[in-house]
Amino acid sequence: MFAIFTSLLTGFNLIQFEKSDQLTRIGVPRPRQTEAEWCSAVLLGHADSDSSTVEDLFALMPPDFEQKFKNPCFYDACHQTNNGTKRKLRCLPFFHVLGVDKCGSTDLYYRIVRHPQISPNNGVLHKETSWWSWRRYGHKLRTDTHHKESFIDYLHYFDGLSEKLEKDSSSYNSITVDGTPMDFWDFTGWPQIPQNVNVGNPKILTPHLMKYLNPYVKFILIFRQPSERLFSDYIFLKLGEPTAKAFHEKVLKSIKMFNNCCANNTVRACLFSRELQIKMPVRLHVGVYSVFLEEWRKVFDMENFLFLRTEDYSKNIKDDITETMMEDISKGKRVYETKRKKKSGTMLSETKRILDNFYYPYLRKLHALTNDDRFLWQNK
């Protein structure tokens, strides 16, 4: 279970970045063979705010990662400075704490980056870039902006590591991480991806694009019993009155809206609908883990993932962490606990019953995907 975690944080052996036919999965183009260096000048830069699409990442040459670094880093031959053009080291994350929101991912992330060989990114709270899910498309939580960030913008989030590597050869074993939980489940920007223009169902999603540009990336996912996750999420985001009764009413309304959507569309289409996500009073969709994981599994092998369960992690952080030889990281108080939830108590038993029934078929599918009995939550 902890093999991937151990390799991330303790092994620090150089990765062999080999081009292989095995990297070509459904919907992911085969990397092009070329002698040319990667050049940011081929990018169109920031997408026009009036454009209905974002930049085409498949039009880029996949990075040729430097063998001397543990982390996937490469040289940009066309970096523009005030003194002209020069080569600049760029880095992508070695791994993602991919989610899920209100499952303990923030606490886990901050314990991980306490390791001296793991560099945090330059995103929000030095944790979340929000690029793959939101910033690339000009999205926020429930609103849109007029600014779409480019792939070069994304690379800037990891300048901390690239600058460290260029200055200090003793840091070559250092790695960096993206801790954006929305990247796991928010695919609502799919209509803006050029390959999806004028199609009814998305052909290309975040996993395809990530695989193309960073094929050896690893993922840590921490799941929580979805009904409990939803109540914590509701209180944390202040989506309504912090009472069990108000939550119950919003749950009923959200389930009705979701079922109405599914009456005329596929579950996949409804979960990937930005309009529905914004309109639902609670974020019911986030807990449908299996549908989102299935999209990731179409592109990445199981060996790329480490699955944790919030209930186990919360009860005994030290035991989980010490299995990765990181005892010092297990110390310290939990961060970003939803204190308002403690004041709000628990949800109504009727609400819990309704939500458990709603999520049950998706948990069965999650169990089938992971072959892990923990994710049936029969013994919490």
Residue 214: CATH number of its domain: 3.40.50.300
**Kind plus residue range of the DSSP H or E element containing 110:** helix 105-112
- Both tokens of 286, joined, read 């986030």
pLDDT at 272: 98
- Does residue 25 carry a pLDDT above 80? no
Determine, yes or no, domain membership for 234.
no
Tens digits of per-residue pLDDT, 152-211?
999 999 999 999 999 999 999 999 999 999 999 999 999 999 999 999 999 999 999 999
Question: How many independent structural domains does the chain possess?
Answer: 1
Higher pLDDT, 312 or 84: 312
Residue from 127, 63, 119 nearest 90 by CA:
63
pLDDT at 42: 60
Non-local (6+) Cβ contacts of 253 within 8 A are: 280, 281
Determine, yes or no, domain membership for 266.
no
Determine, yes or no, domain membership for 252.
no
Determine, yes or no, domain membership for 253.
no
Determine, yes or no, domain membership for 244.
no
- Both tokens of 226, joined, read 């979805």
Determine, yes or no, domain membership for 26.
no
Mean pLDDT value of segment 137-142:
88
Q: Specify whether the CB–CB gap between 4 and 113 falls below 8 A.
A: no
- pLDDT above 90 as % of the chain: 69
Determine, yes or no, domain membership for 271.
no
- Does residue 26 carry a pLDDT above 70? no
Determine, yes or no, domain membership for 21.
no
Query: DSSP code of 9?
Result: I
Place of tokens 């019993």: 225
| Range of the structural domain that residue 297 is part of | 3-12+32-227+287-376
Q: Specify whether the CB–CB gap between 148 and 46 falls below 8 A.
A: yes
Q: Specify whether the CB–CB gap between 146 and 131 falls below 8 A.
A: no
Place of tokens 């996993």: 207
pLDDT at 130: 96
pLDDT band for position 39 (50/70/90)? confident
pLDDT at 228: 98
